[in-house]
Amino acid sequence: MPSVHSSPCYPMENPALASLLRHTTGAAEKRNKFSTGGLLKMFKLFPMLTSGCKMVALLGRPRKPMLKDSATTGTIFGYRKGRVSLAIQEDTRQMPMFLIELPMLTSALNKEMASDIVRIALESETKTNKKKLLEEFVWAVYCNGRKVGYSIRRKQLSDDELHVMQHLRGVSMGAGVLPSSNNNDKDNSLDGEMTYMRARFERVVGSKDSEALYMINPDGAQGPEFSIFFVRAH
């Protein structure tokens, strides 16, 4: 498969992904960017939650609605020394419609987030289109143009994943640290704290074989470009 480059200067050999990237590039021209480092720093414009999941710092109340009613919720979470997972939900009170553990450590994703642009691309190599795109199971994962490995979409949530979804079911956006599950305290202590970032994304459907999620910065605030692409190869 051709590599997926994060820079618009590279030629795109996948037409579906190229179309979605053009949407990103056009939107990025309207934004002011800033340099960040690490998961929590990147999302410092979001409200921060304590380990008890209580709001301690709120965003200023905007004059216009902060979030689109039709926006999709994306959550990136993982232990500091473990792998990072991605969950996508239409309703935070329901289980994710898409959940996958990415083949990269939280620390590696933090390094990528030090740049102004973070693009995660997931490509399904399935040759048929009998399933909906997000129902595919096996995905090749790219981060800012580099292939990091393969992942399999989860059909059932693990205890840790269920723990995160339950704690964040009333949270529309935010970043912080969650308390560990009581059942796995000894095991989890080796991987560090459970960190998370939740944001709202604009969902763009290019075709039955391509979709993209573009992070919505609250109330038009300055912020980095964070995008997630789903492509099915032919």
The Cα 33–Cα 31 span in angstroms is: 6
Res 58: pLDDT: 28
Closest-CA residue to 179 (of 171, 168, 169): 168
Mean of per-residue pLDDT scores for the chain: 75
Where does 24-82 show beta strands of DSSP type E? 48-49, 55-57, 72-79
Domain map of the chain by residue range? 67-181+190-232
Q: 78-112: per-residue pLDDT in tens?
A: 998 999 999 999 999 999 999 999 999 998 998 88
Tell me, what's the pLDDT at 136?
95
Q: What is the pLDDT of residues 122-132, one digit of tens each?
A: 999 887 778 89
**Dist CA 80 CA 106 (whole Å):** 6
| pTM of the entire predicted model | 0.71
